[in-house]
């Protein structure tokens, strides 16, 4: 059985820990190194008691020489840091990045939205925005694999097929998303120290959230017309999960049943995208701790308007699980390894 040695940089964050748990179940992966700065010298179970009795290495500081001892490097690091690692990669290394460092196709867009000058411009063209169900046929051609953000995943999975087929109006799309606070990372409690995260609901990044950039980029690629949308994210008083409510106008000679049936057809071979019955009311409770994205098409009082609900776990399907999907595609492993 083919096995790859893996290094996880940023292993103690919410997504990093989730990635460790998934890879522990993966038949084709050996976790060789866990890397961190402030956490170096500690055991990973210090950050998650569920890992107490697992055979895992102690956390060490990332160094260039580690790259010669591994095949795949997962980076769940602050924006900007994966760019540096990408310039150190050896020929046989595969980088699977969970930050935003290679999500945008233009360095100027990265600077605009993330306020950081891209330090590995030469690698942008060598990377792929890897939404597994959409890019599955070409992911294996790349050694720098960029995992989409959690909010964009919830919006792109239902919208890309419909825009590609020209079934919906490309203007006036509204994406209203609610996420558990784990989406903000471990620093969320300091950032929102004056908010009661456990009992309050709040909007943020209104009009200009960074994920606008990758949603726009990918929708424009697949639509035959310029796409206009509004995206507003919210923090909800739960730890994990995303529910996106997407308001669309359908084109002539289209109805809710046609929209639903096309989504079913498009994702008929994709186990991790579930198209539910029409008017099915979704809950994050149905998808947390799984790698599934559930999608529901709902009718409204207007014959030409529909509401699409999209639910997923931001730490798995919107993060670590998607990274494992991309690993399986890149190395031609069983696509369910580590995920079911």
Dihedral of alpha carbons 78, 14, 309, 208, sign: negative
Residues 245 and 143 occupy one common structural domain: no
Percent of the chain with pLDDT over 90: 88
Instruction: Answer whether residue 198 shows pLDDT above 90.
Output: no
Q: What is the pLDDT of residue 2?
A: 87
Q: What is the pTM of this model?
A: 0.95
Residues annotated as catalytic are 150
Q: Which residue has the tokens 């084709």?
A: 28
Residues 229 and 186 occupy one common structural domain: yes
Q: Each residue of 298-338: pLDDT tens digit?
A: 999 999 999 999 999 999 999 999 999 999 999 999 999 99
User: Average pLDDT over the chain, rounded to whole?
Assistant: 94
Instruction: Answer whether residue 134 shows pLDDT above 60.
Output: yes
Cβ–Cβ under 8 Å, residues 232 and 202: no
In a domain, 336, yes or no: no
Nearest in space to 294 (alpha carbons), one of 276, 316, 319, 320: 276
DSSP H or E run through 261 = helix 256-266
Q: What is the pLDDT of residue 41?
A: 87
Instruction: Answer whether residue 127 shows pLDDT above 60.
Output: yes
Domain that residue 192 falls in = 151-314
Residues 106 and 238 occupy one common structural domain: no
- Binned at pLDDT 50, 70 and 90, residue 190 comes out as low
In a domain, 15, yes or no: yes
Residues 75 and 17 occupy one common structural domain: yes
């Amino acid at each position: 059985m083919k096995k790859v040695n893996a290094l996880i940089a940023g292993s103690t964050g919410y997504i990093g820990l989730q990635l460790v748990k998934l890879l522990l179940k993966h038949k084709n992966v050996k976790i060789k190194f866990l890397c961190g700065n402030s956490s170096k010298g500690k055991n990973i179970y210090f950050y998650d008691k569920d890992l107490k009795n697992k055979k895992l290495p102690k956390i060490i500081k990332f160094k260039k020489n580690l790259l010669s001892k591994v095949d795949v490097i997962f980076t769940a690091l602050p924006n900007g840091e994966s760019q540096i690692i990408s310039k150190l990669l050896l020929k046989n290394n595969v980088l699977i990045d969970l930050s935003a460092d290679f999500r945008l196709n233009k360095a100027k867009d990265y600077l605009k939205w993330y306020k950081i000058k891209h330090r590995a411009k030469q690698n942008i063209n060598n990377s792929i925005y890897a939404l597994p169900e959409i890019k599955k046929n070409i992911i294996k051609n790349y050694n720098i694999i960029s995992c989409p953000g959690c909010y964009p995943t919830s919006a792109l999975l239902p919208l890309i097929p419909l825009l590609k087929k020209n079934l919906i109006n490309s203007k006036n799309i509204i994406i209203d998303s609610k996420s558990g606070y784990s989406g903000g990372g471990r620093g969320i409690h300091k950032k929102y120290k004056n908010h009661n995260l456990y009992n309050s609901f709040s909007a943020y990044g209104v009009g200009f959230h960074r994920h606008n950039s990758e949603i726009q980029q990918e929708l424009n690629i697949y639509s035959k017309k310029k796409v206009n949308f509004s995206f507003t994210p919210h923090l909800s008083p739960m730890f994990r999960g995303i529910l996106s409510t997407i308001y669309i106008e359908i084109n002539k000679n289209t109805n809710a049943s046609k929209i639903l049936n096309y989504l079913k057809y498009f994702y008929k071979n994709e186990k991790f995208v579930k198209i539910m019955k029409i008017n099915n009311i979704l809950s994050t409770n149905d998808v947390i701790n799984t790698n599934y994205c559930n999608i529901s098409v709902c009718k409204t009082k207007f014959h030409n308007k529909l509401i699409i609900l999209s639910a997923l776990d931001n730490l798995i399907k919107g993060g670590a699980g998607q990274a494992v999907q991309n690993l399986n595609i890149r190395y031609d492993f069983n696509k369910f390894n580590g995920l079911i």
